[in-house]
């Protein structure tokens, strides 16, 4: 598994990428030890409830990307040592418009939305460390849309790049409100998408629970079946 690619400017929608909850693809055995390194420290086995949440979360991301036309799914897993992951590729580059980046925001928050839709609560995995956090990633995209990419609802021509966006958000209440408004709008859209395609999310999550990792021809077949239901 490659390292996650954080969006920097238009790259949010244009690079092959992986959105993991964990960096490595090492699987974990029932004893809690990595199969790639049997001498690694023992880690607790994941509960059925946690695996269900992880499957729903990753399925939410995947279904959103299928619905919004954001790349081709290559792998989905709930077996990575540090958590679940989804990877995809882009076969073409499109215009980096505000609408496209807004769709990326929806897909980024769709895992959290799926947890709320199916489980009725969200886990801290939507937060976590900044390198793997859905919330950090979504906030970064929304911040760049408002501050550096020319899509700001106020002063769109003003370029405000910073190495510490959190500090700028803390100091500029108006900017914080606009960034948060983008996040709230995207999350509401993600909730609607997941609700509309509940059957597809549930179908994919069930296969994830059963197989742990979906990739290759098996994933392609599932995606083909899901696309038929999505476009009906």
- Please tell me the predicted confidence (pLDDT) of residue 116: 97
**DSSP letters of 160-220?**
---S-HHHHHHH-HHHHHHHHHHHHHHHHHHHHHHHHTHHHHHHHHHHHHHHSEEEHHHHH
- Helix, strand, coil percentages, rounded to 5, for the chain: 55, 10, 35
Q: What is this structure's pTM? A: 0.82
- The reported pLDDT for the residue numbered 192 is 98
Specify which residues 76 forms β-bridges with. 86, 214
State residue 22's pLDDT score.
Answer: 36
73 strand-pairing partners: 88
φ, ψ of residue 96 to 5 degrees: the values are -85, 75
CA distance 147 to 178: 10
Check residue 39 and give its pLDDT. Answer: 53
Q: Taken in order 50, 53, 59, 61, is the CA torsion positive or negative?
A: negative
pLDDT given for residue 128 in this prediction: 56
User: How would you write the pLDDT of the chain (232 residues) with one tens digit per residue?
Assistant: 333 333 333 334 443 344 544 333 444 444 454 444 545 555 678 999 999 999 999 999 999 999 999 999 999 999 987 789 999 999 888 889 999 999 999 999 999 999 999 999 998 856 555 667 899 999 999 999 999 999 999 999 989 888 899 899 999 999 999 999 999 999 999 999 999 999 999 999 999 999 999 999 999 999 999 999 887 7
pLDDT for the residue 162: 86
Which of the four CATH numbers 1.10.357.10, 1.20.1250.20, 3.30.930.10, 1.20.58.760 does domain 9-230 have? 1.20.58.760
Report DSSP letters for 118-133, one per residue.
HTSS--GGGTSSTTT-
């Amino acid at each position: 598994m490659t390292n996650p690619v954080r969006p920097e400017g238009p790259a949010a929608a244009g690079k092959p990428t992986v959105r993991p909850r964990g960096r490595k693809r090492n699987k974990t055995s029932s004893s809690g030890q990595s199969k790639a390194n049997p001498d690694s420290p023992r880690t607790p086995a994941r509960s059925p409830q946690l695996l269900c949440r992880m499957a729903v979360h990753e399925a939410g991301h995947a279904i959103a990307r299928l619905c919004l036309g954001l790349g081709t799914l290559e792998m989905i897993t709930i077996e990575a040592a540090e958590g679940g992951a989804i990877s995809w590729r882009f076969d073409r580059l499109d215009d980096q418009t505000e609408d496209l980046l807004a769709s990326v925001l929806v897909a980024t928050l769709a895992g959290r939305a799926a947890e709320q839709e199916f489980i009725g609560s969200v886990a801290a995995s939507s937060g976590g460390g900044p390198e793997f956090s859905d919330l950090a990633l979504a906030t970064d995209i929304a911040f760049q849309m408002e501050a550096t990419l020319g899509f700001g609802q106020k002063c769109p021509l003003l370029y405000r790049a910073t190495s510490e966006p959190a500090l700028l958000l803390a100091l500029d209440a108006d900017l914080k409100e606009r960034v948060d408004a983008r996040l709230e709008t995207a999350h509401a859209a993600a909730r609607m998408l997941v609700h509309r395609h509940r059957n597809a999310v549930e179908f994919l999550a069930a296969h994830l629970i059963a197989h742990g990792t979906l990739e290759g021809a098996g994933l392609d077949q599932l995606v083909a079946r899901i696309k038929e239901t999505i476009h009906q």
